[in-house]
Amino acid sequence: MPDTLPADSVGIVSPQTYHFDAPIDLACGQSLENYDLVVETYGTLNADASNAVLICHALSGHHHAAGYHSAEDRKPGWWDSCIGPGKPIDTDRFFVVSLNNLGGCHGSTGPNSINPETGKPFGPEFPVITVGDWVKSQALLADRLGIQCWAAVVGGSLGGMQALQWSLDYPDRLRHAVVIASTPRLTAQNIAFNEVARQAITSDREFHEGRYYDFDTVPRRGLMLARMVGHITYLSDASMGEKFGRELRDQAYKFGYDAEFQVESYLRYQGERFSESFDANTYLLMTRALDYFDPAYEFGGDLSKALAAASCEYLVLSFSTDWRFTPARSEEMVNAMIGARRKVSYAEVDAPWGHDAFLIPTPRYTDIFNAYMDRVAREVGA
């Protein structure tokens, strides 16, 4: 945390755990008898509970989206740039709910939680979770919090898929869906990168078919490789060039295979750090949720037919250099929304940072996001 708390920070925040005792049926056919969701909230719920905004996280995200856990925290939550007083998701006006998704590894029930039936971590017995399952669990969380209808459900990347799914599964329970840097379904290339990540993890000898907890180890190298390849897809060629170019750590070539280029040591560092903090089974689960997401599938691939069920308004945002989920993929969604006679605002924002641009405030991105959320707030009298 900085020495003085910035005026636009939500400040020190504490996560809360909600326990759910009723079983939840999942798309895979299995169910969880009971489970925990770890949640942070920022701002105050108004009297008619109309000012609530749900934040949905992406692959490696979690509930800690804004503020600091303690004065010693070096970094704020992962979307602190967009959540706080005066920011697009303005905590002076909105009551913001951010959770760690089911299957996560940051406190909500997931593969590294104890399976009450065996007294050991679930590991590979933890069911595969879909975007639809997440939305269902988030609706149960909304019930618990007394929120009948979200002012907005908001997410980037995999989070944007959840926002879109909300609008299909619970059309009466949200007024707006904000879908940022997302896609209506993965391409073969997207799935291919996920598959490389999964193979890296499952082929690590320390994986032990997902039971590594029992062996007091983690598939560190596999998780590191998965993160390295993922990380490349989050950045643009141009932004990597800008940041690292061909810069060497030392003066000259060393004619070996140690990290010589700055980009090599950066990637290794990112991979290593991630492998120390993220659960490998959760990584598999999150990538599979991405692969499976395809709301148009039951409608013969016609997303506008799927959207016939929806009634909310949409904000869709894409970033010019995002090659993971290109602007063309956002435009597919926008076209389908228009086809389904839905209200949709769309902008492709020029930004050099590739997919990661949704995490980085830039004037046009912030301005559009601000203006839209201001309208959302006015609608609910916030």
Residues making up the annotated binding site for substrate are 227, 356
Rounded to the nearest angstrom, the gap between the alpha carbon of residue 43 and the centroid of all alpha carbons in its chain is 21
The CA-based dihedral angle spanning residues 231, 237, 239, 244, taken in that order and rounded to the nearest 10 degrees: 80
Cα–Cα distance measured from residue 70 to residue 34, given in angstroms and rounded to the nearest whole number: 30
CB 50 within 8 A of CB 380: yes
What is the C-alpha separation between 327 and 183, in angstroms, rounded? 9
Q: Does 253 bind a copy of itself (CB under 8 A)?
A: yes
Rounded CA separation 315/176 (Å):
8
The DSSP symbol for 147 reads -
Residue ranges for the known binding site are 227, 356
Task: Choose, by CB under 8 A, the member of 5, 45, 128, 140 that binds a copy of itself.
Answer: 128
Contact pick of 158, 225, 306, 316 for a copy of itself (by CB under 8 A): 225
β-strand partners of 335 = none
Of 33-52, binders to a copy of itself (CB under 8 A) are none
Answer yes or no whether residue 196 interacts with a copy of itself by CB under 8 A.
yes
Residue 259 Cβ, how far from a copy of itself at the closest point, in Å? Answer: 8
The catalytic residue among 90, 133, 279, 322 is: 322
Q: Is 300 in the site for a copy of itself (CB under 8 A)?
A: no
* Smallest distance, a copy of itself to C-beta of residue 210, A: 9
Q: Which residues inside 323-362 make contact with a copy of itself, applying CB under 8 A? A: 323
Query: Considering the rule CB under 8 A, would residue 224 count as an interface residue with a copy of itself?
Result: yes
Stretch of 54-62, 81-89, 144-152, 256-264 contacting a copy of itself, by CB under 8 A: 256-264
CB of 127 or CB of 160, closer to a copy of itself: 127
* Residue 355 annotated among the catalytic residues of the structure: yes
Report the alpha-carbon distance of residue 57 to residue 153 in Å, rounded. 11
Please state the closest distance from residue 198 (CB atom) to a copy of itself, in A.
6
Task: Output DSSP code: residue 261.
Answer: B
Instruction: Tell me which stretch binds a copy of itself (CB under 8 A): 26-34, 311-319, 344-352, 364-372.
Output: 26-34
Closest C-alpha among 154, 169, 57 to residue 372: 154
Scanning 67-75, 80-88, 106-114, 202-210 for contacts with a copy of itself by CB under 8 A, the matching segment is 202-210
Size of the site for a copy of itself (CB under 8 A): 53
Question: Pick the catalytic residue: 9, 108, 157, 330?
Answer: 157
User: Which residue is associated with the tokens 């600091």?
Assistant: 68
Smallest CA-to-CA distance from 190 within 165, 161, 218 is with 161
Q: What does the alpha-carbon distance between residue 195 and residue 173 come to, in Å, rounded to a whole number?
A: 35
CA dihedral 364→370→375→379, nearest 10 degrees, is 160
| Per-residue binding letters, 306-325, with a copy of itself (x by CB under 8 A) | -----------------x--
Question: Toward a copy of itself, which CB reaches closer, 245 or 361?
Answer: 245
5: contact with a copy of itself by CB under 8 A: no
- Residue 102 amino acid letter: L
9 is known as an active-site residue = no
Task: Quote the crossing angle between the two packed helices 131-145 and 280-292, to the nearest 10°.
Answer: 100
Binder of a copy of itself out of 198, 312, 319, 347 (CB under 8 A) = 198
Task: Decide: 237 and 266 in contact? Cβ < 8 Å.
Answer: no
CA distance linking residue 312 with residue 343, whole number of Å: 8
Q: Can you list the positions of beta strands (E) in 1-125?
A: 16-20, 24-25, 31-32, 35-42, 52-56, 95-99, 114-115, 120-121
Q: Does 276 bind a copy of itself (CB under 8 A)?
A: no
Is 236 an active-site residue?
A: no
Q: Which residues are part of the catalytic machinery? A: 157, 322, 355
Site for a copy of itself, rule CB under 8 A: 27-29, 127-128, 185-189, 191-193, 195-196, 198-200, 202-203, 205, 221, 224-225, 228-229, 232, 235, 237, 240-241, 243-246, 253, 255-257, 259-261, 263-264, 267-268, 271, 284, 288, 291-292, 294, 323
